[in-house]
Amino acid sequence: MEKILECKNLCKRFGKKEVLKDVSFTINEGDILAFIGPNGSGKTTTIKLILGLQKINSGEVIINNYNIKTDYLKAIERVGAIVENPDSYMYLTGWQNLKLIANCYENVKEETLKELVKYVGLEERIHDKVSKYSLGMRQRLGIAKALINSPNILILDEPTNGLDPEGIKDLRDLLKKLAADNIGILISSHNLAELESFCNKVCIIDAGKIIETSKVNEFKNNENRVIFKVSDTSNLPIKDACEVKKHSFVVNKEPSEVANIVRILVEHNIDIYEVKEDVLTLEEAFLKKTGGKNVKVNKK
């Protein structure tokens, strides 16, 4: 997959206070990167630097091989973004709002707007006033507006804030569809349980520093902990087992070693009821990496 966004050693100061320190990560085509961290960790500041909304003190942002400092228009040309809540004119229809944004670009055809409306699932309500939309519908309209310039990267800051479960599901399905069409997505959110269901990469920022960037399944790896539920552990032949209880024990083993443990148990006439990997949730892994700092939802 082609690299479409690269942040290199980004630093940002407000006066004497350094709020970002050597922030680096990349996004490829089709990636959905969960950008997570406690309140005040630097998520929104990083997003504003990527979009050119704040000045970079040092470091680089490269978008589609263009440097945001030296080739801003080229770099930002194929970027779509929603920072916090998407703004719309509530007294206008969804279609009129789309037309207003389309007028900011050259040669956006009406057929393109109709395709976007269908893409985000607003065909039946696009000619209603936005004041009659649910928050989820307004979010989908915001994404349609962000897609007018045919971006290959979409940046979303807290897009699930205030959404009900149905609105979150609609947004999740839409983002999966965008990623399948090779659009790279950076999504900052406090809803870790929801991010876990559709993001393939995670980047943790804390106090302005990147703690870790990895694939979600690697990030949630719990030191290869495997739980065995068995008939009896009184004469357990596994010497390095831990957390041994009457009918269960835990080992820290690579998957290739688990099969050997199964064979040993069978040879010793110990019935095996269940073998499962002890995988952390995204929230549990986050708390472990950040020393127990909670992600708190912003109430705006």
Q: Is residue 11 part of a domain?
A: yes
3-state helix, strand, coil in the chain (%, to 5): 30, 30, 40
Give yes or no: residues 208 and 109 share one domain.
yes
Structure tokens at 203: 């980047």
CA distance 255 to 174: 34
Please tell me the predicted confidence (pLDDT) of residue 176.
92
Q: Identify whether residues 244 and 155 lie together within a single domain.
A: no
pLDDT at residue 112 greater than cutoff 90? yes
**Over pLDDT 90: what percentage of the chain?**
68
Q: Which of 52-56, 193-197, 233-237, 260-264 has the lowest mean pLDDT?
A: 193-197
Is there a single domain that holds both residue 210 and residue 245?
no
- E strand or H helix that includes residue 286: helix 282-289
Measured in whole angstroms, the distance separating CA 229 from the mean position of its chain's CA atoms is 34
Residues 65 and 197 in one domain: yes
- Residue 293 belongs to a domain: no
Q: Are residues 28 and 73 in the same domain?
A: yes
Q: Which of 150, 134, 155 is nearest to 88 (CA)?
A: 134
Among 178, 200, 219, where does a domain finish? 219
> Within a domain: residue 128?
yes
pLDDT (0 to 100) of residue 292:
65
**Same domain membership, residue 149 and residue 265:** no
Residue 298, pLDDT > 50, answer no
Considering the domain boundaries, does residue 289 fall inside one?
Answer: no
8 occurs within a structural domain: yes
Q: Which domain holds residue 252?
A: 225-277
pLDDT at 3: 93
Q: Based on the domain organization, do 215 and 260 belong to the same domain?
A: no
Q: Are residues 168 and 261 in the same domain?
A: no
Count of the separate structural domains present in the chain: 2
Provide the CATH number for the domain around residue 90.
3.40.50.300
The pLDDT tens digits of the residues spanning 265-283 come to 999 999 999 999 888 888 8
* Number of other residues whose CB lies within 10 A of the CB of residue 40: 12
**Mean pLDDT to the nearest integer, 187-197:** 84
pLDDT tens profile 63-97: 999 999 999 999 999 999 988 667 899 999 999 99
Out of 47-51, 152-156, 227-231, 251-255, which region has the weakest mean confidence (pLDDT)? 251-255
29 vs 45: CA distance, rounded Å: 23
287 is a domain residue: no
Average pLDDT estimate for 239-248: 93
- Within-domain flag for 33: yes
Question: Which tokens belong to 70?
Answer: 């030296």
pLDDT category of residue 51 using cuts at 50, 70 and 90: very high
How much is the mean pLDDT over the chain? 90
For residue 164, is pLDDT > 50? yes
Question: Which range scores top for mean pLDDT: 59-68, 192-201, 279-288?
Answer: 59-68
Is 101 contained in some domain?
Answer: yes
Bigger pLDDT: 46 vs 289: 46
Tell me: pLDDT of 57 over 80: yes
- Shared domain for 7 and 77, answered yes or no, is yes
Lowest mean pLDDT among 18-32, 153-167, 192-206, 281-295: 281-295
DSSP code, position 154: E
19-24 own/partner pairs: CB under 8 Å, 24+ apart? 19/45, 19/208, 20/45, 20/46, 20/49, 20/208, 21/208, 21/209, 22/59, 22/209, 22/210, 23/59, 23/205, 23/208, 23/209, 23/210, 24/59, 24/210
